[in-house]
Structure 1
């Protein structure tokens, strides 16, 4: 099924009444984020290398391969400019490997990026944790859920990405890792969505630049990049 879409006129409107259901949201980008998004979509992710400090910033990456679980050997740390050159600008030369900068607070790592993406006041009031997600086409964030008390809003800055959301009531059908495992919130399915027939409802949407998706606490979700993609998410506890 298709995710519900909510059109708002401002971030203030959305954050004053956060919904209880997963939904795609438009209109939450502030003007600086809109300008940065336009630049990255027009010029490409290589824009991130124009600043020397950002280009030399060491970032953690995952080396992904189709239908292959990640291991400790899949994780590396390399300079940002090397990551962009290898896995964005020359991605066809390293296939089937794909590099994915995942779950790293890239924006806070350099003054250039903090200036490019200043805090969104409505989000900052929620005292969030944040991460960036940057990679080429077909990079994958597998099926998982966040902390039970945390809502999650992901802003699609550049490129396109598909999101899939699954209600917690279907958790018994998701082949989760054991409850005593560090991966207990992750499915053992290696695909974007289960390849075998399972009795669950999956709500999906394609995120374009300027879109956001809100995922309520406890909901399972996965993401797949449909092009070179840059996203920023915020986890928060909604006490409103």
Structure 2
């Protein structure tokens, strides 16, 4: 937390920022998601993704003419074309860590909060794929080596510009989730209750969903909207949903097969970061 980020000045409501260490690894390729306008189910009135990207692109063009800046300009141009196509609200791509670092810097510099970049998310980035100096900032929690088989199955970082969101799903392994920057709210259901909710949504849609795959079907369209309504907007009382809010330094254990959905809470475009470890 201290190595990657600066602290947030709550009194002046400044946005959290990246520290110098991630800047040293700005060229590292990571997996991104970008949810365009209409994808934020909680704040549909914010400025369009197209206008925000255009403002970001203009700001980039005014920065010092360096190779990384030129590359980011080309990347944002490609995102603009994807948004204009309107084929999907959900865009997945690989890009350097510098994209979110620069977008965060742009967000803190702009005088118009409505033009800030939102819903840009480094999602499920395998910690093992990071360069050693970054990977070492995410040591496997001692707890994992002392329970079950003591076997780490996988680990990820989740780093985004709010709003960020993960629909209802379940994991094939126990999960230890740790909040680093910002806050997230989670809703959890036991295995049988969650399965009933998930199946009911798909029966109404006439589809079959994959509860363990973070793909376009889960992240965009009728399945995403149906799951959001069933978990967040109008949940069935019989689903017995538990809710918790995680702030920096909070950790949550999610047992194998328990259903859960996460979303960030707080100021739009603010940095939000988490890490998790799946184990056996």
TM-score by length of 1: 0.68
Partner SS state of residue 123, structure 1: helix
2:234 to 186, 196, 202: 196
Structure 1 residue runs without a partner (length 5+): 1-32
How is 1:85-234 mapped onto 2 (pairs within 5 angstroms)?
85-86=102-103, 89-90=106-107, 92-93=114-115, 98-106=119-127, 108-124=129-145, 125-147=150-172, 150-170=173-193, 171-174=195-198, 175=200, 177=202, 183-185=210-212, 188-190=223-225, 191=228, 193-198=231-236, 199-227=238-266, 228-234=271-277
Q: CA deviation at 1:49?
A: 5.6
Structure 2: how far apart are the matches of 1:36 and 1:115? 11
How many residues matched? 198
Structure having the larger proportion of residues in strand: 1
Structure having the larger proportion of residues in helix: 2
> 1:46 matched to which residue of 2?
18
How is 1:59-70 mapped onto 2 (pairs within 5 angstroms)?
59-64=30-35, 65-67=39-41
Partner SS state of residue 260, structure 2: strand
Kindly indicate whether the alpha-carbon contact (under 8 Å) linking 1:61 and 1:100 is maintained by their aligned counterparts in 2: yes
Which of 1 and 2 has greater Rg? Answer: 2
Q: CA RMSD in A?
A: 3.3
> 2:92 matched to which residue of 1?
75
> 1:58 matched to which residue of 2?
29
Q: CA deviation at 1:116?
A: 2.7
Between 1:198-207 and 1:216-225, the stretch displaced more is 198-207
Partner SS state of residue 32, structure 2: strand
Q: CA deviation at 1:94?
A: 5.1
TM-score by length of 2: 0.60
Structure 2 residue runs without a partner (length 5+): 10-15, 45-86, 108-112
Structure 2: how far apart are the matches of 1:158 and 1:117? 14
Q: CA deviation at 1:107?
A: 6.2
Change (3 A) 1:144 1:99: same
Kindly indicate whether the alpha-carbon contact (under 8 Å) linking 1:131 and 1:232 is maintained by their aligned counterparts in 2: yes
Q: CA deviation at 1:167?
A: 1.4
Change (3 A) 1:169 1:73: closer
Change (3 A) 1:45 1:154: farther
